[in-house]
Structure 1
Amino acid sequence: MTREADLYPPIKALFERQGYEVKGEVGAADVVARRGDEDPVIVELKLRFSLSLFHQAIARQAITDLVYIAVPKPKGKQARRMLKDNLSLCRRLGLGLITVLPDGRVEVQCDPGPYAPRKSKVRTQRLLREFDRLRGDPNSGGATRSGIVTAYRQDALACAEYLAEHGPSKGAAVALATGIARATTLMRDNHYGWFEKIALGVYQISEKGQRERLRWRAEASDAETNAMPEGSEPK
């Protein structure tokens, strides 16, 4: 579909099958459908999702609660994610969403209506656990994910620092000295490649671990310096 007008026939047919009278380009609306004395239905047509499309649809909610947006069904690797994200946005805004396939078939992804979000206790608890486990405030809001300091990374850095200072050590000794109960498991799993097992339960820091430890320490020092008020001196 190369024109918004290509979306009109299948959308018109959809509502006519439900007993609506349908007309295009009524006032500022792309499509208006009426059925008896019921509130009118408005559909905004676009060839792709965009912020302006949502702005238009929200403006139509001043006329009726029954507002849909209609777009060709996206295709490609990111299509499923794109559709899911925009469907979620439609639901939050109380908008309906219709997608049109190349053969003219339509799929009503959701109907207009009030949104009642369901909270995920699991996600809430996971977020709060990560918040509580983070030592200090090591990240600037909006930083790229590759440079994020997680609680897991902080624990790994603490283990690496201990091994760098004390040499090969038993996991239990590292756990006791650092206060990181999962130190042995963390070094055994070795997700970052920072540790080497040299005997049963005994680990040392790897060459990569040495490099990464120094790099993260330098970045933390730079971040602390940059966060200082102008004119202050590091202590």
Structure 2
Amino acid sequence: MARMKFICDSERCIECNGCVTACKAEHDVPWGVNRRRVVTLNDGVPGEKSISVACMHCSDAPCMAVCPVDCFYRTDDGVVLHDKDICIGCGYCSYACPFGAPQFPSNGAFGLRGKMDKCTFCAGGPEANGSEAENEKYGRNRLAEGKLPACAEMCSTKALLGGDGDVVADIFRTRVITRNKGSEVWGWGTAYGKPPGGPSGPAAQPAKPEGSKS
């Protein structure tokens, strides 16, 4: 069984926000909610990178762990969805999610809270596939139609990949091998920093004896 996953290739993302617009248009997302957004790291300085962020449909999703009414569930494809009929709008999931995926809709001048909304991987909700009720609450169910999520399909540079996790990983692995760069963006060095004197640090270079010519 396929396990659906997203990955964004920061070497290809050009911060066009096409993925954000595609998601909004496809599902008529509530005002004040961005199921997907583009985040720029080191904005305006050398090494600037942009990545597209949404619900990552975690294998061990923290939103599922903290929800007091168990409105979150995982499909056979590994997509994490939620039932708006059960949701009480407590907001615990928004605090637990490291990606800021579950969000309150902002209806009215004072941002009234309601049912949580989040990325569905274009897989709809608990209602019957393609039904009017499903479309009204969660948007179009493209996965049931055999299509990719709208955000990934509309990405002009194919930076955003979505689909079977094994296939997505193979595509990204091939890109990294071909260009000989890119894996470090998601690796240990980015998360924890490279140790002083590591393989790529200054201490890796052998010291030259005194009096030697360069």
- Under a length normalisation based on structure 1, what TM-score does the superposition of the two structures give? 0.20
- In terms of fraction of residues, the more helix-rich structure is 1
- Under a length normalisation based on structure 2, what TM-score does the superposition of the two structures give? 0.22
Higher alpha-carbon Rg: 1
